[in-house]
């Protein structure tokens, strides 16, 4: 059998759960017998059946002597659902081929061990790099309890995100903006600073593609966000979160009561010389089971995440425009610091209309 072929199919199936299973991993499963696919499934929603169970239930014939393919090691513990390993053993499947081991301490090789002890043959490490990339959010979150952080930047060729720091400006093409909305649907939360909230008055939802809306996070030390902002008034899903200082928490109780009446969650964090503590923000987002964070601005926010090395990925959407002056993407970062930060990254390029998307992924070396 072509193990890589079926693991690739598992990866493709798993992607259907993007945006719906977090903080759980994306998992797809295929069951093969006599070179025929007799069952397949994926993890569709957090708390629902896992991919292996869905694949087993989809089969219309006996699974005895079949081979099960899955991109991530089957679970062996009771969580929202019973252990997948037990279901596999009960089904009569003779072999399990796994993309990569699950780093969750509750699993971490225990699933493989239990399968082997039950006389089920196991092979793992098939397309491991691709399987790790698929679940980069999950692996970061399960190891650190903080979300995977992607800085998303739209800028001109000469490095500006706007020609006027006090004015909202669209730089990139509609196709690039659709890609950003797709990213929003896949990330658990989108974060901006209060200046961006005031100047742009964004909705931070998914409008140009199908998908679920993320949590909307604003860093607002002094609670300057306006009452009539979209993030406050259009919050029927109660997904707007504002991080403020403890000083604001104590001095603006009436305004906080108003924001909370609109379903806004107010979370205080400590301040330091650079503003609100980003490390504490990330820890508190992690405690809310937010495993991935798309940072959309502005310049000071980008600079702070970069300077404090609190990022995992940078996506720059480069538009074929020259603004000549304005606000730079990293206004508070020295040239040497910027070069050193991204010099050892893995880099990818994509094209949308006339825009170039440059993806910098922090090296794990």
Query: At residue 172, does pLDDT exceed 60?
Result: yes
Residue 290 confidence (pLDDT): 97
Residue 83 confidence (pLDDT): 85
Query: At residue 232, does pLDDT exceed 80?
Result: yes
Residue 190 confidence (pLDDT): 98
Residue 340 confidence (pLDDT): 61
Residue 52 annotated as catalytic: yes
On average, the pLDDT of the chain sits at 92
pTM for the whole thing?
A: 0.91
Task: pLDDT band for 298, please (50, 70, 90 cuts).
Answer: confident
Task: pLDDT band for 339, please (50, 70, 90 cuts).
Answer: low
Q: What percent of the chain has pLDDT over 90?
A: 73
Query: At residue 329, does pLDDT exceed 60?
Result: yes
Residue 344 confidence (pLDDT): 72
Residue 82 confidence (pLDDT): 76
The pLDDT of 150-172, averaged and rounded, is: 89
Three-class secondary structure assignment of the chain: CCHHHHHHHHHHHHHHHCCCCCCCCCCEEEEEECCEEEEEEECCCCCCCCHHHHHHHHCCCCCCCCEEEEEECCCCCCCCCCCHHHHHHHHCCCEEEEEECCCCCCCCCHHHHHHHHCCCEEEECCCHHHHHHHCHHHHHHHHHCCCEEEEEEEEECCCEEECCCCCCCCCCCHHHHHHHHHHHHHCCEEEEEHHHHHHHCCCCCCCCCCCCCCEEEEECCCCCCCCCCHHHHCCCCCCEEEEEEHHHHHHCHHHHHHHHHCCCEEEEECEECCEECHHHHHHHHHHCCCCEEEEEECHHHHHHHHHCCCCCEEEEEEECCCCCCCEECCCCCCHHHHHHHHCCCEEEEEEECCEEEEEEECCCC
For the stretch 52-91, pLDDT in tens is: 999 999 998 999 999 999 999 999 876 667 788 898 998 8
Residue 341 confidence (pLDDT): 67
Catalytic residue among 52, 73, 186, 296: 52
Residue 272 confidence (pLDDT): 87
For the stretch 116-144, pLDDT in tens is: 989 989 999 999 999 999 999 999 999 99
Residue 150 confidence (pLDDT): 98
């Amino acid at each position: 059998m072509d193990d890589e072929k079926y693991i690739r199919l598992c990866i493709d199936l798993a992607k259907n759960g993007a945006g719906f299973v977090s903080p759980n991993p994306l998992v797809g499963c295929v069951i093969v017998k006599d070179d025929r696919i007799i069952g397949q499934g994926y993890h569709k929603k957090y708390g629902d059946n896992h991919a292996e169970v869905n694949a087993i239930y989809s089969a219309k014939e006996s699974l005895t002597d079949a081979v099960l393919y899955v991109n991530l090691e089957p679970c062996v513990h009771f969580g929202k659902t019973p252990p997948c390993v037990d279901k596999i053993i009960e089904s009569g499947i003779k072999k399990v081929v796994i993309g990569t081991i699950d780093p969750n301490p509750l699993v971490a090789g225990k699933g493989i061990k239990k399968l082997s002890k039950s006389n089920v043959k196991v092979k793992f490490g098939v397309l491991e790099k691709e399987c790790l990339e698929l679940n980069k959010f999950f692996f970061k979150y399960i190891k650190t309890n903080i979300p995977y952080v992607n800085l998303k930047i739209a800028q001109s060729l000469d490095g500006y995100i706007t020609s006027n720091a006090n004015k909202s400006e669209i730089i990139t093409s509609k196709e690039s903006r659709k890609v950003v909305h797709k990213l929003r649907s896949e990330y658990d939360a989108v974060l901006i600073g209060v200046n961006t909230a005031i100047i742009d008055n964004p909705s931070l939802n998914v409008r140009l593609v199908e998908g679920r809306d993320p949590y909307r996070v604003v860093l607002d030390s002094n609670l300057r966000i306006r009452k009539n902002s979209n993030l406050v008034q259009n919050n029927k899903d109660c997904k707007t979160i504002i991080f403020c200082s403890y000083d604001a928490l104590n001095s603006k109780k009436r305004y906080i009561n108003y924001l909370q009446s609109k379903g806004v969650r107010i979370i205080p964090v400590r301040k330091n010389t650079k503003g609100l503590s980003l490390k504490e923000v990330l820890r508190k987002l992690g405690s809310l089971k937010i495993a991935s964070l798309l940072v959309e601005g502005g310049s000071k926010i980008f600079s702070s995440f970069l300077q404090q090395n609190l990022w995992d990925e940078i996506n720059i959407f480069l538009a074929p425009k020259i603004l000549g002056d304005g606000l730079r993407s990293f206004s508070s970062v020295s040239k040497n610091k910027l070069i050193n930060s991204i010099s050892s990254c893995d880099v990818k390029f994509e094209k949308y209309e006339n825009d170039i998307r440059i993806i910098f992924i922090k090296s794990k070396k």
